[in-house]
Structure 1
Amino acid sequence: MNAIINKLHIKDTLTDYVYLILGILSINFALKGLLMPNHFFDGGITGLSILLHEKYHFDIDIVIVLLNLPLVALGYKLVGKKFFFKSLIAIVLLGVCLRWLDVPELTHDKLIISAFGGFFIGLGVGFGMRGGCALDGIEVLAVYTGKRVGFTMSEIILGLNLVIFLIASAFFGLEKAFYSMLTYFVASRTIAYVVDGIQEFTGMTIISSKSEEIKRYLVLEMEKGITIYKGERGFMKDSFEVSADVDIIYTVVTRLEVRRLKAALHEIDPKAFVFSQSIKETAGGVLKRKEH
């Protein structure tokens, strides 16, 4: 048993460092191949580093390491020792890549720079998060600040980035700031896809008088696992004392299957009560990942 656990730990560690290296290379590609040659910005600590590089001509590799180090150290307290050491290694390696690994300038098309610069930045940060580290310390700062001021992490990150973009607009004009906002938006959406997975899941709860037909459809036609809760339905305003036992069906589907299931439910029981909720991750059970 211990041998199996050790093998799993080794595999997880190797996977984490593969993600870490891919994230570093992706950020280096975005910065040196797209954003920096064209004086574009991003949000977060990366964006602030580019801003200082453009305004005061500091070396980007030194600035990005120095700005991230205090936040990585803060992560030791907030997240843990493993996170701290991984993030420290990742930030130092990112600085080394920015100093020594050259990337040719790829294009001067502003839309391509903004969109794909954001994509590769988001890909890099997302890979870093999948690997258990921070390649941009703004999330750590947001967690730390949020515990003291009462704002959500998203609100704090948005506020910090607005300050960066306002400074960028003052120094380099509104056009650059607007393109930089687009870069940040693309990066943030890419991070969400990389961290949460492209294949999002939806939990569906179904209450219907035709629960047997719905159960048969879910299990036999869609090959889904289901969980049944026992409940009561009724309790209407004009007949509050009248109720009946009912099976409450819960299942998990991919977002590609939601429309198919809703259409089937409408055919089986147009009066069925259905509500859904987004699920970030699933494990175990009976779950088809793709719709065939």
Structure 2
Amino acid sequence: MLRFFSVTVGSLIIAVAYNWFLIPHNILSSGISGIAMIIGILSPLDTGLMNFLLNLPLLIIGYIKLGRDFILYSILSVVVLSVALYVIPIQAVAHDVIISSVFGGVLTGIGVGIVLRSSACTGGFDIVSLLLTVKRDMPIGTILSAMNGIVVIISGFFLGWDAALYTLVSIFVTGKVVDAVHTRHIKLTLMIITSKGEDMKQRLLDSVYRGITVMDGEGAYSKTERKILMTVISRYELTNIKGLIQDVDPQAFVNITETVEVVGLFHRG
């Protein structure tokens, strides 16, 4: 319930940022939402409707290729955001463009950070990046930067280069606030000791896209055989994985340590 509430509130904050600070001044957000904004500004089509339609095929593919729980809550975020964009009236709260771009970026960053802390995303380029890293193990930061650069260039051609520069300001501020709210870059090492090793392994593989190493273990005192599962995850996945572990084996022993560096094959989704 808390996770559902957090994803909903974060998505509503993003919608307020868009309709009250960014869209009235032709300032775009990053990702698919930015493309939806361009369409909404230049045509009679509603931004919320376009945001949903553009994200729909990505969410379907993500549901098939990525973790189920992650995508289900991401679908919730996209639906809430799209409906809120449709319902909340577009009106400028501040008339200064710079203030609007900065404050809109701050609100967007807070909303996105809350959604990410709930082990979900707002759809769009995040899902595209995750899918590409699954296929080619490409660095997600580079992919996102390239795709957001395309959005800025498109906004320059269609809305003017002043709007493109204000969009850059908004995207930059959003990124800084997201980093402050949600430490997504932090990696954690999980060591799970459980008597339900096969069930635990399968549940994790079905729900989270991470490699898992399985080892045999034995209790020194009880002499009971155990399975030891070790994996490295991103910080934003921890909430989801802790819930999964609790569901499969409430008696499992879990050691969580912060990872200084990861060398080798690791999908940075």
Shorter-chain-normalised TM-score: which range?
0.5 to 0.7
Tell me which of 127, 141, 154 is aligned to 1:167.
154
The answer on whether the counterparts of 1:68 and 1:91 sit within 8 Å (CA) in structure 2 is: yes
The structure number with the bigger radius of gyration is 1
Tell me which of 50, 64, 77 is aligned to 2:51.
64
| Unmatched segments (≥5 aa) in structure 2 | 187-233, 239-253, 257-269
The answer on whether the counterparts of 2:101 and 2:170 sit within 8 Å (CA) in structure 1 is: yes
Give me the whole-angstrom Cα distance separating, in 2, the residues matched to 1:191 and 1:70. Answer: 26
- Kindly indicate whether residue 26 of structure 2 is the aligned counterpart of residue 39 of structure 1: yes
Instruction: Give 1:235-254 correspondences, 5 Å limit.
Output: none
Query: How far off is 1:104 after superposition?
Result: 4.5
Question: Secondary structure at the residue paired with 1:132?
Answer: coil
The letter of the residue matching 1:45 is I
- Kindly indicate whether residue 175 of structure 2 is the aligned counterpart of residue 188 of structure 1: yes
Could you tell me which residue of structure 1 aligns to residue 208 of structure 2? Answer: none
Query: How far off is 1:141 after superposition?
Result: 0.3
Query: How far off is 1:74 after superposition?
Result: 2.5
Q: Deviations over 1:127-155 (max 9, x none)?
A: 11112222132111012123445531111
RMSD: 2.6
Give me the whole-angstrom Cα distance separating, in 1, the residues matched to 2:68 and 2:137. Answer: 26
Query: How far off is 1:23 after superposition?
Result: 0.8
Could you tell me which residue of structure 2 aligns to residue 140 of structure 1? Answer: 127
Could you tell me which residue of structure 2 aligns to residue 84 of structure 1? Answer: 71
Q: How many percent identity over aligned positions?
A: 25
The answer on whether the counterparts of 1:146 and 1:156 sit within 8 Å (CA) in structure 2 is: no
TM-score calculated relative to the size of structure 1: 0.60
Give me the whole-angstrom Cα distance separating, in 2, the residues matched to 1:49 and 1:103. Answer: 14
Could you tell me which residue of structure 1 aligns to residue 216 of structure 2? Answer: none
Give the aligned length.
Answer: 193
Could you tell me which residue of structure 1 aligns to residue 11 of structure 2? Answer: 24
Could you tell me which residue of structure 2 aligns to residue 98 of structure 1? Answer: 85
Query: How far off is 1:35 after superposition?
Result: 0.8
The letter of the residue matching 2:120 is C
- Kindly indicate whether residue 54 of structure 2 is the aligned counterpart of residue 54 of structure 1: no
Give me the whole-angstrom Cα distance separating, in 2, the residues matched to 1:191 and 1:78. Answer: 26
TM-score calculated relative to the size of structure 2: 0.65
Give me the whole-angstrom Cα distance separating, in 2, the residues matched to 1:150 and 1:20. Answer: 28
| Unmatched segments (≥5 aa) in structure 1 | 1-13, 201-278, 286-292
Question: Secondary structure at the residue paired with 1:45?
Answer: helix
